[in-house]
C-alpha cells in the first residue's frame, strides 16, 4: 500500500472532467490496489472522502468513510444521482483545500446509483453527512470544488491563504 500525493487548489488538474470507469477494469489488481491506496491516503489525512480526481486519476470513482471508528469503507464507481430532495447547509472542508472550511448548501436526501468495489450495481438513499460527502466527491469528478460555491473574492482569499501557507511550509 502507498500514500498518494493529493493535488491542491488551484492546481488546474483538479478541473479535469473524469471519464467513466470501464467495469472490466474493476477486477484488475491495479485498480484494487489503487482503491486500497486511496483509502490509506484518506484515513491517514484524516479525511472522510477522496475522489480519484484529487490523486490525479481522472476516472469516475471515489472512496468514502463517514463512520466515527473508520470501519465503514464505501466505494462509488460511476455514481449517478437519480433523485434529490430538500436542502441542508454543512460546513465543508477538502483535502485539496487544506485548512479551509466554509458553509455549502446541498440537497438533503439523495438516491445514488453506482457500482461497488466488486462491480455490483447498487442503489442507496441517504441523507445527512453521507449525502453531503457523496455530492462533494461527485463534484470533484466534474472538476468542481467546494470553494466554487463561494464568491470570487472569498475564493481569491482562499487561494492567497494557501499560497502563503505553502510558502511558510517550504
User: Which 106-145 residues touch ligand QAP, going by CB under 6 A?
Assistant: 132-133, 136
Neighbours of 44 (CB within 10 A): 10
The answer to whether 90 and 106 are in contact (CB under 8 A) is: yes
Least distance from C-beta 95 to Co ion, angstroms? 6
Q: What is the DSSP letter of 87?
A: -
Active site residue 92: no
By CB under 5 A, is residue 94 in contact with Co ion? yes
User: Rounded distance, CA 65 to CA 76, Å?
Assistant: 11
What is the nearest approach in angstroms of ligand QAP to the Cβ of residue 115? 21
Applying CB under 6 A, the span of 8-16, 32-40, 43-51, 158-166 interacting with ligand QAP comes to 43-51
Distances (CA, A) of 87 to 37, 66, 131, 136: 33, 19, 11, 14
Q: Tell whether residue 92 is a contact of ligand QAP (CB under 6 A).
A: yes
Task: Decide: 16 and 4 in contact? Cβ < 8 Å.
Answer: no
Q: Which is nearer to ligand QAP, 87 or 121 (CB)?
A: 87
38 lines the binding site for Co ion (CB under 5 A): no
- Cβ 9 vs Cβ 158: under 8 Å: yes
Name the residues annotated as catalytic.
137
Binding site for ligand QAP (CB under 6 A): 45, 47-49, 90, 92-95, 98-99, 132-133, 136
Amino acid at each position: 500500500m502507498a500514500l498518494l500525493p493529493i493535488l491542491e487548489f488551484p492546481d488546474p488538474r483538479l478541473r479535469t472532467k473524469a471519464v467513466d470507469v470501464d467495469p472490466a477494469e474493476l477486477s484488475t489488481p491495479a485498480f484494487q490496489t489503487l482503491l486500497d491506496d486511496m483509502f490509506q491516503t484518506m484515513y491517514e489525512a484524516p479525511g472522510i472522502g477522496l475522489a480519484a480526481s484529487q490523486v490525479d486519476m481522472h476516472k469516475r470513482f471515489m472512496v468514502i468513510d463517514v463512520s466515527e471508528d473508520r470501519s465503514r469503507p464505501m466505494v462509488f464507481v460511476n455514481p449517478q444521482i437519480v433523485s434529490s430532495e430538500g436542502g441542508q447547509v454543512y460546513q465543508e472542508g477538502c483535502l485539496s483545500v487544506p485548512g479551509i472550511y466554509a458553509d455549502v448548501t446541498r440537497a438533503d436526501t439523495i438516491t445514488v446509483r453506482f457500482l461497488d468495489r466488486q462491480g455490483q450495481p447498487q442503489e442507496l438513499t441517504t441523507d445527512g453527512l453521507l449525502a453531503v460527502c457523496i455530492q462533494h466527491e461527485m463534484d470533484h469528478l466534474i472538476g468542481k470544488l467546494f470553494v466554487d460555491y463561494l464568491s470570487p473574492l472569498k475564493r481569491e482569499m482562499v487561494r492567497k491563504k494557501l499560497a502563503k501557507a505553502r510558502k511558510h511550509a517550504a
